[in-house]
Amino acid sequence: MSKHKKYSHRKNILLLLLVLSSHIWADDPPEISVLSLDVPIWANGLNHAEWLLAGNKDNAKKIGFFNLSAKKSNMPTKPITQKEDDIGRTSRSLPLYLAERINVETGCNATNYIFVIKGAGPVLSVEEWSFEILKSIAIKNELDIVVFGHYEKDYLDLRSTLKIEAWDVKQEKKVFSIVEKTFFSETSGVAAKIPFYFQSELEEKGICQYTNSNKYPKPDPNILPQYLDGLGQLLAQTLADNEILPGSAIWGEAQMIEWYRSLWQDMPESDANRLMFAKGLIASKRYGGTVHKEYSVNFRNFLDLNFDTSDTLSKLSPLFYSEFGFESECISAKKKLSEVKGRYNEWLLRINCSSSNKSIQPIAKEAVD
């Protein structure tokens, strides 16, 4: 099956709030919160599975990523709630990916900050972010660097301009900026050009140094746009899991899971793609979706046939078994994995095979003034 056919069936939709500017709100504006996510989206909500990532980074530089602002032709002139589109999804998936790569390939710490309104979803601003707007959040969270940007489509949405800026918080000074302009390109395809230049800038400025990850290697450039879309889809499920969105706002779940599976097939050496698949199923069950009913038994059989105490999915299997009520499989897996030491063993002891582990590790929330 060609990659085009494998990925062309996806158009999942969720609710999304467009915020044009703060002064447009009515007298009683909705409360905007910022969610913080300090691990890759595929490692969140797995009962605090800290063993998935590298050890202590307490003295590392802290980099904060904000979802991009974005604008295109014929956008509304007042705040509305509407269905997600490619530009909205990419405004969140590119920062998620840049932060992911820092957390798995460098000694720096990266956190994503995502503006949301409970019951409506993530906020997309058509006005460009500035350092002054984000400075208070950066100072409060003791960030060293903040990264934000703007995506714009013009000429009847034929030309894309994507700008990324990195600012030093203490010096209140721009460290670097990246601008990518192109015609006739899909949104995620334009965004996929940014990571190479972003890494180069961080390394040249001496901020972070990258080392290739064996467990979570970079996606092949040919599938990076699809990987970005996968991150955006998984964020939607995570927001539903954390009750920012109602589960009913997520549909096309089967296409989502097939999307993750296609990524897994195209890059089987990456545990990130495998974890996307597992996390997608677990999230679906938690927020009351339906796709898990079709896939959970087959996934259980796959785990049983491919069990290996050194394998990431096998290590995660007790949580999956517990979530889906496969009690005997959970007990058996825990027994086999009990010899694994360190942070993993601490996590394993928290898994209760006889009851649901809806310890979803909520994304931290704080009100935005």
Q: From the CB of residue 185, how many other CB atoms can be counted at a distance below 10 Å?
A: 19
The residue to which tokens 């058996």 are assigned: 332
Region 148-162 average pLDDT: 82
CA-atom Rg of the chain in angstroms:
20
SS3 state at 307? coil
| pLDDT tens per residue across span 288-325 | 999 999 999 999 999 999 999 999 999 999 999 999 99
Would you state the torsion angle of the CA atoms of residues 181, 82, 14, 266, taken in this order, to the nearest 10 degrees? Answer: -20
Measured CA to CA, the distance from residue 296 to residue 306 in angstroms comes to: 15
Beta-strand pair 80-83/15-19: antiparallel
pLDDT score recorded for residue 356: 53
Q: Do 269 and 152 contact (CB within 8 A), yes or no?
A: no
Is 9 within a domain?
Answer: no
- The distance from CA 208 to its chain's CA centroid, rounded to whole angstroms, is 21
Is 246 within a domain?
Answer: no
Region 143-170 average pLDDT: 89
SS3 state at 152? strand
- Higher pLDDT: 140 or 189? It is 140
Read off the tokens for 10: 């996806």
Is 50 within a domain?
Answer: yes
Phi, psi (deg, nearest 5) at residue 163: -120, 135
Q: Do 110 and 198 contact (CB within 8 A), yes or no?
A: no
pLDDT score recorded for residue 65: 98
Is 37 within a domain?
Answer: yes
Is 144 within a domain?
Answer: yes
| pLDDT tens per residue across span 32-61 | 889 999 999 999 999 999 999 987 777 899
The residue to which tokens 């720096």 are assigned: 108
Most confident of 17-26, 67-76, 333-342: 333-342
Measured CA to CA, the distance from residue 191 to residue 151 in angstroms comes to: 9
Q: How many residues does the chain have?
A: 369
Is 26 within a domain?
Answer: yes
Phi, psi (deg, nearest 5) at residue 306: -115, 25
pLDDT at 84 over 70: no
* Angle subtended at Cα 198 by Cα 155 and Cα 146, rounded to the nearest 5 degrees: 95
The neighbouring-strand residues paired with 15 are 83
Measured CA to CA, the distance from residue 216 to residue 100 in angstroms comes to: 10
Region 160-177 average pLDDT: 96
Average pLDDT, the chain: 85
pLDDT score recorded for residue 8: 47
The amino acid at residue 282 is I
pLDDT score recorded for residue 131: 96
The residue to which tokens 């798995």 are assigned: 104
| pLDDT tens per residue across span 180-224 | 988 756 788 889 999 999 999 999 999 999 999 999 999 999 999
Q: Which of 89, 115, 144 is nearest to 37 (CA)?
A: 115
Read off the tokens for 234: 């998984």
The two most distant CA atoms of the chain are separated, in Å, by: 61
- Which residue range is the domain that position 198 belongs to? 15-235
Measured CA to CA, the distance from residue 66 to residue 143 in angstroms comes to: 12
pLDDT score recorded for residue 22: 35
Region 75-89 average pLDDT: 59
Is 245 within a domain?
Answer: no
Query: What is the domain count for the chain?
Result: 1
Is 188 within a domain?
Answer: yes
| pLDDT tens per residue across span 10-40 | 333 333 444 333 333 444 566 788 999 999 9
